[in-house]
Amino acid sequence: MKVLGGLVRPDEGEMQFEGQPVQIDSVRRSVELGIAFIHQELNPLDNLDIAGNVFLGREPSRWGLVDRAKMRDQAAGVLDQLGLKLSPDTPLSQLSLAQRQMVEIAKAISLQAKVLIMDEPTSSLTLSETERLIQVVRELRDRGVGIVYISHRLGEVRQLADRVVALRDGQNAGELARDEIDHERMVRLMVGRDLERMTLPVDRSEKPERLRVQGLRTERYPDREVSFSVAKGEIFCLAGLVGAGRSEVVQTIFGTDPAVGGTVSLDGIPLKLGSPKVAIDAGVGLVPEDRRGTGLLVDWTIRDNITLPTLGHYAKGGLVQGRRESEAAAEQSKSIGVKAPSTAVKAANLSGGNQQKVVLGKWLLAQPKVLILDEPTRGVDVGAKAEIYEIMRRLTDQGVSILMVSSDMEEVLGVSDRVGVMHEGTLTGILSRDECTEEGIMRLAVGAVNP
């Protein structure tokens, strides 16, 4: 898709657009042809407002100056089309990840493209936003726009696609016509084999408490207290709707967000809040939701990312011993199945699934007692998902406690030992594996308190 968008030049082969051979050697050429691209990893400008981002490089002008009023009106029309109730004057820095995703979609739609490429467009969206986007995609298709829709959410593909083409390891793996599209066939094409249902076995043995959170209050919800515990070798999931305060809780535990009140203890020892270094030294790791923004240094290599939290282990006399560092990174990379020619490859050049494995790998090398996973499989294909779940259970078998935040209902039901459901900063209930149902979780997620 980067070749079609003019970001990468092809090594060989040819492209045709409207029946004519074309060469796309720049982003500008791609746009001139009528190709618009929504990237999986967002690249908005935080210092501009919504209108400025939507019409970046295409600002309407009047007498040689940007016509702010016209740009604002046109941006408002596109936002209304998407059902996004935001002022075009809102700075990007004030928007959530989901809202920024919608702005990127608005930008692509405003181009009035002939071909629209959408790379994981719903990976950060709520259910209602996803439904609205699907409706917009159908409207664009009915107007004659050709849409390339890239997604690992196979339910969406089944809803939308007229045709499915699967890629595996950089090659065409097969194609399905409309009447052939179903979940099992798509999975088989993507991974080359049948996958068992994405579930992990539950361990019902009694285990000692590892992490205790008591009366924790976050900056987002300073008047709401959250209390729960996670046992040694347990997967405890925080579920709920977007904006419920789940990420804020785990970021406060890790120390990236300040705590307004409450305590956190690890193996009975109080943890000083407000310092990631203290959390890391105590044995806590965090795989954040935004892997490119806060989980990786994308311009660094796989090796440099994997060894970053444990760099001191490979130093002598204040100097890093490159050979030891490289050997450790290569071994870790191999053990978690990172697909790359070597650990000298930049993280920016990896797929979403392999980037996520690198983020996981750096914490596995640190041998944590508690691993916090915030949306661990967002934008990850089904094969990589299965591998990540296997890593998670391998960790719990070794006694590591996992605190997971997930909006993927199949994931919540399939891998959690217990589920705590949040609504507007409050923990409305904690469900055992046997009590977990989609209806039960959604009931708590909209504010009903568990009896």
Band (39; pLDDT cuts 50, 70, 90):
confident
Interval 379-393 mean pLDDT: 84
Band (27; pLDDT cuts 50, 70, 90):
confident
pLDDT at 176: 94
Same domain as 218, residue 155: no
In tens, the pLDDT along 205-221 reads: 678 999 999 999 999 89
CB distance 264 to 213 below 8 Å: yes
Band (198; pLDDT cuts 50, 70, 90):
low
Residue 372: inside a domain, yes or no? yes
pLDDT at 113: 83
Interval 352-377 mean pLDDT: 91
Percent of the chain surpassing pLDDT 70: 94
In tens, the pLDDT along 144-187 reads: 989 999 887 788 888 899 999 998 777 898 999 999 998 888 87
Is 195 a residue whose pLDDT tops 60?
no
Interval 284-294 mean pLDDT: 89
Residue 323: burial class (beta carbons within 10 Å; 0-12, 13-18, 19+)? exposed
In tens, the pLDDT along 94-150 reads: 887 667 877 888 888 888 889 999 888 877 676 677 787 788 888 889 989 899 998
Same domain as 382, residue 282: yes
Q: What is the CATH number of the domain that holds 399?
A: 3.40.50.300
pLDDT at 196: 52
Same domain as 284, residue 135: no
Interval 289-293 mean pLDDT: 84
Same domain as 229, residue 130: no
- Where helices occur in 223-365 by DSSP H, the ranges are 246-254, 276-282, 302-307, 322-335, 352-365
pLDDT at 443: 82
Residue 203: inside a domain, yes or no? no
Same domain as 270, residue 140: no
Domain count, the chain: 2
More confidently predicted of 25 and 127:
25
Q: For residues 204 and 373, what is the distance between their CA atoms, to the nearest angstrom?
A: 22
Same domain as 242, residue 137: no
Same domain as 226, residue 127: no
What distances in angstroms separate CA 336 from CA 94, 183, 260, one per listed residue? 36, 26, 37
Range of the domain at 114: 34-161
Is 291 a residue whose pLDDT tops 90?
no
Query: pTM of the full predicted structure?
Result: 0.66
pLDDT at 248: 93
Residues comprising the chain, all counted:
451
Q: Which of 98, 130, 161 is the last residue of a domain?
A: 161
What distances in angstroms separate CA 45 from CA 48, 94, 113, 352, one per listed residue? 6, 12, 22, 22
Q: Which of 140, 161, 182 is the last residue of a domain?
A: 161
Residue 61: inside a domain, yes or no? yes
Q: Which of 161, 190, 225 is the last residue of a domain?
A: 161
Residue 299: inside a domain, yes or no? yes
Q: Whose structure tokens read 């046109």?
A: 74
Same domain as 44, residue 132: yes
Same domain as 252, residue 139: no
Report which of 295, 291, 324, 293 is spatially closest to residue 309, judged by C-alpha positions: 295
In tens, the pLDDT along 57-95 reads: 888 888 888 888 999 999 999 888 877 788 999 998 888
- DSSP character at residue 300: S
More confidently predicted of 279 and 203:
279
Same domain as 253, residue 118: no
pLDDT at 451: 54
Q: For residues 139 and 149, what is the distance between their CA atoms, to the nearest angstrom?
A: 14
pLDDT at 223: 93
In tens, the pLDDT along 249-265 reads: 999 999 999 999 999 99
Residue 54: inside a domain, yes or no? yes
Residue 322: inside a domain, yes or no? yes
Residue 313: inside a domain, yes or no? yes
pLDDT at 194: 53
pLDDT at 203: 61
Residue 64: inside a domain, yes or no? yes
CB-based contacts of 421: which residues, under 8 Å, 6+ apart? 238, 239, 240, 427, 428, 429, 430, 431, 441, 444, 445, 450
